[in-house]
Structure 1
Amino acid sequence: RTKLEEAIDYVGLMIKNLKDKRTGLEKSIEDESVDIKNLKEKLIKVGQYIEEEKLGIKTLQQKRSQVEREADDVAAIIGNLREKLLSIDHIVNEEGNKIAKYKETRPKSESSLT
């Protein structure tokens, strides 16, 4: 009978140990679950941040492209104005040469009147 009681006590102790281990495992699993949920939330936020940054970069690229187009337009306008100024400068030089030739061909008596 003593051995039976010892066996029952031993089985009871084993059951208690198993329950303690199960309780410990449940707590560990719950802790891991909480950690994983927290990590998941953080990763989702990181993903959202990355998407926001991608949109921001895309917006910056569009703005940069617009600025480049405007700069190209300004360069074209400057080139056009430069050509017009060169044309005007050429005309002014031609007219200056014509006036100089005219003065050279005028009789001396006419130039003394002015």
Structure 2
Amino acid sequence: MFTTTTTPSAYSGLGYGTLRILNASKLDEGRYVCRGENIFGSAELAASVFIKAPTRIDLSPKRTELTVGESIVLSCKAFHDPTLDVFFHWMLNGQPIDFEKEGGHFESILVVGIVHTL
């Protein structure tokens, strides 16, 4: 037996006590209870499900051309679930940028809580 306060059309029972939540949304967040019964009695167990918004990143400019010696500012903005923190990691050609490197020419600036600038 599965109990919930959301629309049953979002769920499918897979048998053997398994519940699948299809296309989860914030409405599916809550306390789910699985109850098993037979002639010898019953038992139940609860699970709390929390639904988080996915993190999306916007980077601008996406493509630009520079002349040697010019500077550029890249801004990375994260849209994320407000209950979670976001951490930024810059990489160049798949390798992490070392902002502490002696003589390096990269600077990392945290502009606002959800924007990080290189």
Q: What's the TM-score bracket when you normalise by the shorter of the two chains?
A: under 0.3
Given the two structures, how large is their TM-score scaled by the length of structure 1?
Answer: 0.19
Which structure has the higher relative contact order (CA within 8 Å, separation 6+)? 2
Instruction: Give the alignment's TM-score, normalised by structure 2.
Output: 0.19
